[in-house]
Amino acid sequence: MASSPDVTSSAGNTPENPESGSVPEVSETSVGTARRGRVRARRAAVMAVPATLVAGALAVLTAEGALGVQFAISGMPFTVTATELNGTGFEQFGGLDNMAPGSPNEGDTGGQVLVVTSAIKNATLTKLCQSVDLGGTNLLITAGGGAQKVSATDLTTDSTELSGDAAFDNIEIGNDASTLTKAGVKGPIGVFSQQADTVRIANLRQTNYATTAGVFKLPGLKLRFSSSGC
């Protein structure tokens, strides 16, 4: 923020900031001007703090698709599969995920990954599998293979690839992402999106960079290292 002329001129003539090698004369007028300058500077600094925070928050929400991802991603993609996903309250829109500054995984991406954010208010998944390649071995997670299915509320996934056999009820295509209502998530204004009352995807397969959920229940959870992924 640029300093006002009053603050700059008075700050250079105060007793606390004498010019090198000389002590300036201090009059009542200059002291009064200096005090006013310091008060103005303090007020400007206080007013700038909330403005900076708001601007920063807006930048983060715009870049990350509102409630898509609100943390720095590792930059390591992971695979998610399920024999079936069923959800109520479905939304989908474009977003941009960011890695931590200086991440060794950024390559030539500049630390950013263009993703599609899928949001589901309530979801169930059958035979969930998640794996991440650690270089020579895979960290493998499975759940929901028995009578109980994996369930999640306020589920969001940031994906670069998604495939399966999909069916939607009451779908709307071409919405502005900032106007979405089905899953309680709003994306950036001016971004293409779609939403539906329900979604069903058989033979789901995703390449994800992030997943978030309000509640995530994984019955029959197993975590292990494996030579192969999902």
pLDDT, one tens digit per residue, over 13-46 is 444 444 445 444 545 544 444 444 443 433 333 3
Q: Is the pLDDT of residue 7 over 90?
A: no
| Cα torsion angle, 216, 222, 224, 228, sign | negative
Q: Is the pLDDT of residue 96 over 60?
A: yes
Q: Is the pLDDT of residue 164 over 80?
A: yes
Compute the distance between CA of residue 63 and CA of residue 58 in angstroms, rounded to an integer.
8
Judge contact between 97 and 66, C-beta under 8 A: no
The whole-number pLDDT of residue 183 equals 97
The alpha-helical segments, DSSP class H, found in the chain are 5-11, 28-64
The whole-number pLDDT of residue 181 equals 97
CB contact set of 181 (below 8 Å; sequence gap of 6+): 195
DSSP 8-state symbol, 149:
P
- Across the chain, what does the average pLDDT equal? 80
The whole-number pLDDT of residue 70 equals 72
Indicate the pLDDT class of residue 198, thresholds 50, 70 and 90: very high
Is 0.95 topped by the overall pTM? no
Q: DSSP 3-state assignment of 193?
A: strand
